[in-house]
Amino acid sequence: MSFKLLAQDIIWRNGRLATMDPDLKTAYGLLENYDMVTRGKTIVAILPQGILDNDVCEIVDLAGRLVTPGLIDCHTHLVFGGNRAPEWEQRMKGISYETISQQGGGINSTVRATRSLSEDNLYRISQPRLEALIREGVTTIEMKSGYGLDLQNEEKQLNVAKRLAEAYPITVSSTLLSAHTVPPEYQGKSDEYIDLICEQIMPQLWQKGLFESVDVFCESVGFSLEQSKKLFLAAQQLGIPVKGHVEQLSNLGGSELVASFKGLSVDHIEYLDLQGIRALKESGTVAVLLPGAFYFLRETKLPPIELLRENQVPMAISTDFNPGTSPFASLRMVMNMAAVLFRLTPEEVWSGVTCHAARALGREETHGQLKTGYQADFIVWNVSEPVEIIYEQGSHPLHLRVYQGKVTHDHSSFF
């Protein structure tokens, strides 16, 4: 065999590799009796066991355990101040999310809490949320702004995301969601607020390299289709990819708008229709399903899963971790919800948190699969079948967490 091992390489042997590589026609892209070789941060070879002639590098014996790509949580609002438990208590008494938003609660109450915190305090309260996701196997995460809603506070939120990325073994993809809601000082002047984003917040924070895509809440309680389009046009001029919170509470046609900009993803999409689905298929935009928000809002309208499936639109799944509609720092629990509530097959669920989630972040060439040339982010689980990770909750099946080729969590001594 022509592959030449180097002393710095690691051979991961005797794993059941759920590669999630769509080119392999097996379920989960499963490969058995293969060696996976990492060199530094990268997977450099996946070869049938028995051909590597090794007398130079370390071998790690995985003893038949399941190996998957690291989990990717492609839609979160993880950096926020306060919590909305009191508001939730009201909701449990029958007051709707829309009514609470209209009364100045909802997103704007988190805006007040986020603005009132120093950057250091915002960082500190975000840490345990991120740590929870890391511990359960997340290796790439998206984080949105959208609770600052002015230049200084949006920058503060994005700086926190940047500091988290520097401090923890995880890839962070940041998104500008200044168009989340109209802040109090712009009440009744939403067009002017969109101008502020287009002319100041977006260009200045883009220049500082603080985010990699732009998002909007296109909804009756958010921004109109026209306002969303204006934002996307300004983003396009700067070369920034777009995505949208669309069709969550009604169908405004936001998905078609995102698709017309060749956007990365449309997220929520309970009210998406066939016309929107055709547009997504055409543009290659990922449908991001957020079962945590569906569950927590006691939504009854399911996203059009069967139509998405028929039209082969890639479906990703994410926590949407936020204090108002999905206070869940667990992607594994949301994987379970995607199967039970949305009836995704276990294989679709796994694609949804690996290869398709990577695509939703524009990282499908480097993340979300066990494949030569990809970043060596993977989880060794104390199970043998992929479905077990979705099925059982509350247990801690993570055996090894490997990020960029290095073991960051080793629970092998527990078993």
Q: What residues form the annotated binding site?
A: 75, 77, 84, 147, 180, 245, 248, 320, 322, 324-325
The full length of the chain comes to 415
Q: How far is the CB of 325 from ligand NIG (least distance, A)?
A: 4
| Listed ranges 105-113, 164-172, 190-198, 337-345: which one lies at the site for ligand NIG (CB under 6 A) | 105-113
Known binding-site positions for Zn(2+): 75, 77, 245, 320
Q: Which of 139, 174, 213, 248 binds ligand NIG (CB under 6 A)?
A: 248
| Listed ranges 36-44, 104-112, 118-126, 353-361: which one lies at the site for ligand NIG (CB under 6 A) | 104-112
Buried b (16+ CB within 10 A) or exposed e, 198-234: beebbbebbeeebbbbbbbbbbebbbbeebbbbbbeb
Q: CA 265 to CA 91: how far, in whole Å?
A: 29
Binding-site partner at residue 243 among ligand NIG, Fe ion, none, CB < 5 to 8 Å by type:
none
Nearest residue to Fe ion on Cβ basis: 320
Q: How far is the CB of 225 from Fe ion (least distance, A)?
A: 18
Query: Which token pair is 29?
Result: 């892209």
Binding-site partner at residue 324 among Fe ion, ligand NIG, none, CB < 5 to 8 Å by type:
ligand NIG
Binding-site partner at residue 201 among ligand NIG, Fe ion, none, CB < 5 to 8 Å by type:
none
Residue 325 as a binder of ligand NIG (CB under 6 A): the answer is: yes
Residue 320 as a binder of ligand NIG (CB under 6 A): the answer is: yes
Binding-site partner at residue 45 among Fe ion, ligand NIG, none, CB < 5 to 8 Å by type:
none
Sheet holding 213-218, edge to edge: 71-73, 138-144, 171-179, 213-218, 243-246, 265-268, 286-289, 315-317
Neighbour-count burial of 94, counting CB atoms closer than 10 A to its CB (0-12 exposed, 13-18 middle, 19+ buried): exposed
The residue (of 9 and 320) whose beta carbon lies closer to Fe ion is: 320
| Listed ranges 106-114, 134-142, 227-235, 258-266: which one lies at the site for ligand NIG (CB under 6 A) | 106-114
Q: CA 66 to CA 124: how far, in whole Å?
A: 34
Number of residues that bind ligand NIG (CB under 6 A): 13
Q: CA 109 to CA 258: how far, in whole Å?
A: 28
Considering only residues 301 to 330 of the shown chain, the ones binding Fe ion according to CB under 5 A are 320
CA-nearest of 15, 53, 20, 21 to 34 is 15
**Residue 197 CB partners (closer than 8 Å, separation 6+):** 178, 179, 231, 234
Residue 329 as a binder of ligand NIG (CB under 6 A): the answer is: no
Q: How far is the CB of 144 from ligand NIG (least distance, A)?
A: 8
Residue 348 as a binder of Fe ion (CB under 5 A): the answer is: no
Find out whether 80 and 73 touch, Cβ atoms under 8 Å: no
Residue 270 as a binder of Fe ion (CB under 5 A): the answer is: no
Q: CA 152 to CA 155: how far, in whole Å?
A: 5
Q: Give the interface with ligand NIG as residue ranges (CB under 6 A).
A: 77, 106-107, 110, 217, 245, 248, 293, 320, 322-325
Give residues in contact with Fe ion (CB under 5 A). 320
